[in-house]
Chains A and B, each alone.
Chain A
Amino acid sequence: MRETHIIRMLEEKPIGGLSEGEIANAESHVARCSECKRAYDAARISAALILARASEATEVGPFFQTRVMAALRERHLSPEVPALVRMWRAAGTLASTMTALLVILVTLTVLDSRMQSPPVTPSQNIYSPEYVVFEQGDLDDDNLAYDELIATMYEPEDENGQ
């Protein structure tokens, strides 16, 4: 008789969903099987309880809308921005910050280079012998030989500093 037990059938679908044939079979079986009778009675009661519970639902109150909207304002809620848009905005902020930094750096570099005086090379120093000889030299100096010129430029000074 074990194979005809109805407990599994009671768990597979709601008792209200059993066909008339299934109910007839179940009732004939429980008449001679106390274990299944107990389960069948409990399943019927369970079904009745669930239906009783499902038949009741709380109605929407007249001020519910107002309550929701008030809570919305009170909590300062706003719709969340989609993730992609959030990422795009974050990337935009980062990009503009980096651009601004770059502009500042370039500006500072340019200003700094302008403020610095150009380096004085020996040839530009008007007191250097090279400048005197090569840039401001007399026409007569053109006739000097290279050796003479070098010797004149670098000859050691006398004791009087002349």
Chain B
Amino acid sequence: MSLAREGDESAFEEIVRRHSPRVFRTASRFFRQPAQVEDVAQEAFLKAYTQLSTYKGFGSFEGWLTRLTTNLCLNTLRNAKRQPELSVSPLTAEEGEWLENQSAAASIERHRASERGLVAFDLAEKVLSELPADDRLVLMAIDGDHLSVAEVAEMTGWSRSKVKVRAFRARRRMRKAVEKLLER
């Protein structure tokens, strides 16, 4: 770490090698296209390189890097033009069928069997892309990756109360978005 901080490129290359999976995982929560994930991951590492001096060594380096990546992703999403109102793009026939099946399912166990399909992935992206960046983050981290409130607080720099409130509101927005889809 100290070598990288002094500008040793090979030391930094080792950091990139070691922490890439975590950075990709974090960026994947926000972006779908592999090229976009890779672009953001690259920017995260370049930013980390120039800001290595701000890492004081109090927490884990991976935590520091995850926080940097998360903030970069949030800013990228916030800067992107966002539609003010929920307007999910038209559903494909498969997506409509998937929704119908899910709606008819009688228990959670039944829908878990089919939750990992490509259709669900595409539909999830459609709905999530309409939510504010912060909502997307907490939903993906807590409900998707099963991180604790404390972990999300550390990752974002928010207070635990803020994370809880964000998650509460995000679930409501997501649910309402899905209700709209079901009404179609």
Q: Which residues of A contact B (CB under 8 A)?
A: 10-12, 14-16, 23, 27, 38-39, 41-61, 64-65, 67-69, 71-73, 75, 77-82
A-B contact pairs, 16 of them (CB 8 A): A41-B182, A44-B108, A51-B112, A52-B115, A52-B123, A53-B120, A53-B121, A53-B128, A57-B25, A58-B24, A58-B27, A65-B16, A69-B12, A72-B46, A79-B52, A80-B51
For residue B97, CB closer than 8 A to chain A, the reply is no
- Would you list which residues of chain B between 98 and 142 have a CB under 8 Å from chain A? 99, 102-103, 105, 107-108, 111-112, 114-117, 120-121, 123-125, 127-128, 139-140, 142
For residue B60, CB closer than 8 A to chain A, the reply is no
In the complex, A44→B120 CA distance in Å?
13
Say yes or no: A53 contacts B111, CB within 8 Å.
no
In the complex, A60→B27 CA distance in Å?
11
Chain A nearest CB from B83 CB (Å) reads 19
* B residues near A11, Cβ cutoff 8 Å: 168, 171-172, 175
* A residues near B171, Cβ cutoff 8 Å: 10-11, 14, 43, 46
In the complex, A57→B41 CA distance in Å?
13
Say yes or no: B49 contacts A72, CB within 8 Å.
yes
The residue that B50 contacts in the complex, of A14, A47, A68, A79, with Cβ under 8 A, is A79
Say yes or no: B20 contacts A60, CB within 8 Å.
yes
The residue that B46 contacts in the complex, of A15, A16, A71, A82, with Cβ under 8 A, is A71
Q: A64-B41, A65-B17 are in contact. List 12 more A-B contacts (CB 8 A).
A: A11-B172, A11-B175, A48-B111, A50-B139, A51-B115, A52-B115, A53-B120, A56-B28, A64-B16, A71-B42, A80-B53, A82-B54
